[in-house]
Amino acid sequence: MKPTAAPVIRTIDLHQPMRWLVLGWRDIGHCGWVSFAHGLVLTVVGLGLLVLARHQFWWLAGAFSGLLVVGPVLATGLYALSRAVERDEARSWRLVLKTWLSWRRHGSGRDGKDWRLVQFGLLLGLAGTGWVLTSAALITLMSPVPIEQPLDFLKYVVLARDNWLFEVWLALGGLMAAPMFASSAIAIPLLLDRRISVLQAVITSWEAVLNNPVPMAWWATLIMGFSLLGLLSALLGLIAVMPMLGHASWHAYRDLVDASAWPERTTGQPGAY
């Protein structure tokens, strides 16, 4: 079934992103340990990266920032949980597992499978990998000394006064992150909720961001700020930050888009794309 009309993009106020965070915490209260487990998994992955790249910090800086790029995909289970809270349905690991494995179930599409979330995840994964490689190459080529430890990165990149490496690194990261944020701000929740194509979801996400540039810039700032707090707390803060932002992103989608004209996608019954 094809959508018969374009979704309605709503205009939001500057205070709405803060409301999303409050609603995110409310959803954590409803879902409990299932929500926090998502953050715990991300923390364990981050600690693993620290161990693997402890002597190659130039890789680590890119890897952690790359995690932020693929964050919307990692939060897919949280979107499903928030939708279940909204519908007063059961919230459990069974729902999360069904959501992650929905691409394996037979649907009504041409190939009998729903590959949209997989496709979008691969696209974001490629973008994250591209940033890791770009970040590593930039720091390796421009740093005056080898960057092997976090203190080396802080001393010779962040606090260096005789070069512009940190500023260039931030600017390049921003240039790569901005279109990825616009593409993914609401795309994954939309793909989870409605039977539309990846391209349609990305276009809708861009429209939502462009129609609300100031509130969405504030939302991106909040995401970055809380993510940095999680990283700087020895990664332990991610246990709470990741589920809060994931649940909040579902409410961002619900406030920004009226997708009622699009066919609904129910968990375990993938759409036609």
Q: Give the contacts of 145 (CB within 8 A, at least 6 positions apart).
A: 152, 156
Question: Tokens in use for 55?
Answer: 């002597």
The rounded radius of gyration (Å) of the Cα atoms in the chain is 19
Residue 32, amino acid: G
Q: What is the distance between the alpha carbons of residues 182 and 205, in angstroms, rounded to a whole number?
A: 6
pLDDT of residue 198: 86
Residue 39 Cα distances to 162, 212, 245, angstroms: 38, 29, 10
pLDDT digit of tens for each residue in the chain (273 aa)?
A: 455 567 789 999 999 999 999 999 999 999 999 999 999 988 888 788 777 766 666 566 656 665 666 667 788 899 999 999 999 999 998 999 888 776 555 444 444 456 666 677 677 777 767 777 777 778 777 887 777 666 777 777 777 777 787 788 778 877 877 888 898 899 989 988 998 888 899 999 999 999 999 999 999 999 989 988 987 888 899 999 999 999 999 999 999 999 888 888 765 443 333
Nearest to 202 by CA among 217, 190, 211: 190
Phi, psi of 195 (to 5 degrees): -90, 85
pTM of the prediction?
A: 0.80
C-alpha 188/C-alpha 183 separation (Å) is 10
Q: How far apart are CA 206 and CA 202, in angstroms?
A: 6
Return the pLDDT at 230.
86
Task: Answer yes or no: are the C-beta atoms of 83 and 23 closer than 8 Å.
Answer: no
